Amino acid sequence: MFKPPLNMQTTTLWNYPSQHYGNKQQGHQNYPGATPSYIIWNLLMRFTKKGDLVVDPMCGSGTTIDVCKDTGRKCLGYDIHPFRKDIIKADARTIPLENNKADFVFIDPPYGDNISYSDEKDCIGKLKATEKEYFTAMEQVIHEIHRIVKHERYMGLYVCDYYNKKDGFVPIGFRLFSLLTEYFIPIDIIAVVRHNKTLQMGNYHKAALEGNFFLRGFNYLFIMYKE
pLDDT tens, residue by residue, 12-28: 999 998 889 988 899 98
Does a structural domain hold residue 177? Answer: yes
pLDDT classification of 115: cutoffs 50, 70, 90 = confident
The pLDDT value recorded for residue 201 is 73
Does a structural domain hold residue 6? Answer: no
Residue 196 has pLDDT above 90, yes or no: no
Does a structural domain hold residue 4? Answer: no
Does a structural domain hold residue 17? Answer: yes
Does a structural domain hold residue 114? Answer: yes
Number of separate domains in the chain: 1
Does a structural domain hold residue 8? Answer: no
Helix count (H) and strand count (E) of the chain?
5, 10
Does a structural domain hold residue 29? Answer: yes
Write the CATH number for 168. Answer: 3.40.50.150
- Predicted TM-score (pTM) of the model is 0.95
pLDDT classification of 184: cutoffs 50, 70, 90 = very high
Residues 67/44, Cβ–Cβ less than 8 Å: yes
Residue 2 has pLDDT above 80, yes or no: no
Residue 154 has pLDDT above 90, yes or no: yes
Does a structural domain hold residue 1? Answer: no
What is the rounded average pLDDT of the residues 136-152?
A: 98
For residue 100, what are the domain limits? 13-226
